[in-house]
Amino acid sequence: MNSIRTHLLEMKYEFLKALRIPAYSIPTVLFPLIFYVFFTLAFGRSPASGSGVAMAAYMIATYGTFGVLGASMFGFGVSIAVERGQGWLEVKRTTPMPISAYFAAKMAMAVVFSSIIVAGLFALGITLGGVHIAVTTALKMFIVLIGGSLTFSALGLAVGYLAGPNSAAPIANLIYLPMSVLSGLWFPIWVLPKFVQKIALVLPAYHLSQLALGTLGAARGSSVAQHVAAMAAATVVFLAVAYFGYRRDEGRMYG
């Protein structure tokens, strides 16, 4: 019971800390919502190419992926890099708190912010975009998108352990923004050049967006199993890189 309480308290204070850092919480939540509003007003009523799904519904999946990517990467990557630089992780290790509570709190915070973003996109889609979507379909897409936070949290963890406190944010942005564009999150994948469409096949953000679009019947290309396998493989790679960075830190600290 004490361990559970410790984990829950760490989650609570991690979330409160994130809320009190407007440089993280405000852009993380508002950026995908503002983009969605802009493109919904421009293209929301038109159908997505070859799918019969309105663009306003299509973009809930793609901007939902964009939002989850940002919330997870910056919640883990920049936060951990800064706290490593401040020596906060070393302080945590001197307390009885299990290190699992620290990472569980980061993960919970990424899930909460991802959930806020996706829920906001659904609200905007229904009110501004005229999206009509079954509750079961919306729930499936929500679960798919939030599940994707595991992969992007692993990516953020890798950045957090490899980058320094001052370089983490620029490095995260150099991954976050190009990956979003190349994965077809800002613009539909079919309008991008052919060579970009080929690059997208190795990017986890593309595969998550296709899984989310699959709940609408608007996915393109690979099967669900292939998209899931790609996400799982990316997660393993990112965790391996993060573990390498973690062991490197351990070696520097303890020799």
For 87-121, the pLDDT digits (tens) are 777 777 777 778 788 888 888 888 999 999 999 99
Euclidean distance between the first and the last CA atom of the chain, given in angstroms as a whole number: 35
Residue 27 pLDDT greater than 90, yes or no: no
C-beta of residue 33 within 8 angstroms of C-beta of residue 118? no
44 falls in which pLDDT band (50, 70, 90)?
A: low
Domain positions in the chain:
2-254
Residue 125 pLDDT greater than 80, yes or no: yes
pLDDT above 90 as % of the chain? 48
Residue 75 pLDDT greater than 60, yes or no: yes
pLDDT at 89: 74
Across the range 21-43, mean pLDDT stands at: 84
pLDDT at 151: 95
Tokens of residue 178, six digits: 């190009």
Query: 190-248 pLDDT, tens per residue?
Result: 888 999 999 999 999 999 999 999 999 888 877 899 999 999 999 999 999 988 988 88
pLDDT at 92: 73
Quick one: how far is CA 210 from the chain centroid?
14
pLDDT at 51: 61
Tokens of residue 38, six digits: 């802009």
Residue 81's closest CA among 53, 98, 106, 101? 106
pTM assigned to the model: 0.90
